[in-house]
Structure 1
Amino acid sequence: MTVRIIENQQELEDAFSVRRTVFIDEQNVPAEEEIDQHEDAATHFVLYHEGGPIGAGRFREVDGVGKVERICVVKEARKTGAGKTIMKAVENFARDNGIHKLKLNAQTHAIPFYAGLGYRIVSEEFLDAGIPHKTMIKEI
């Protein structure tokens, strides 16, 4: 598995393809909510395995805090370490760019995954795109 920080249109399309599969097709998130106004301001990541895209995520700096967003892995690649691979790349990117606090809005079913990576819950449950979430943070 190889994570790439997106450098060209094809890699961006690969990331969007994974995001569409997971969020729009699988979780029924409206397309206009999934692809949003923050795409151009974000650093995008795509995870490849055997030549094809299997995971994606994006990162933005908001008020000095790194915001980890849109982390996803296609169903066939879950429970293989793919999610941890993406998260490690995002955290390394943040650290390399002087960001030492990360924040994410985790779908409640994914909280154990993020907790296992050192994130802690800092909010009550809320709905985003009709899906229950909690905000989590991590100092790196």
Structure 2
Amino acid sequence: MKLGFSFLLLSSASANYMFHTNGEQECKATCDLNRICQFWTFDNRLRADGKRRHECHHHHIHASVNLIKNQPDFRCGSMSEPLSQRSHECRFEYSTDLPSIRYLQTTTKGECDKIGTMCRECDGATWYRYHDVEIDGDLESKERIPGHCTINVKQPEE
């Protein structure tokens, strides 16, 4: 529970990205494995400190259809595009992100494990056939999620 909570805090404090990946191919692959991800974006623009972002965003079916193409270091794709066009320069609005582990759902444990290995700040993943998840921090209100994949965030080294 502590790891899941840590990941929720991480994702809410950082423009709603799902997690960091090494590149756009890993980001696309994690979206392919997440059964409710319909669009993905990989934001690799420079941060203020000069480092790359490596932020992988997953989006659901209601993602904005307003694509802004040819934005350097920002790649995206959708499951509805032909394979040859599933990665190109563009940008989605962040308001359509799937912002937390609550929205990471796979069909099998193996798919969940693959996502865990492609996430840069993760130490594996845990898969639940059915998982009761609190809704907006309300202990009384829970949602039962089938095929729920939770990411185990690496603990900071002391």
* Higher share in strand: 1
Say which structure, 1 or 2, has more relative contact order (CA 8 Å, 6+ apart).
2
TM-score normalised by L of structure 2? 0.28
TM-score normalised by L of structure 1? 0.31
* Higher share in helix: 1
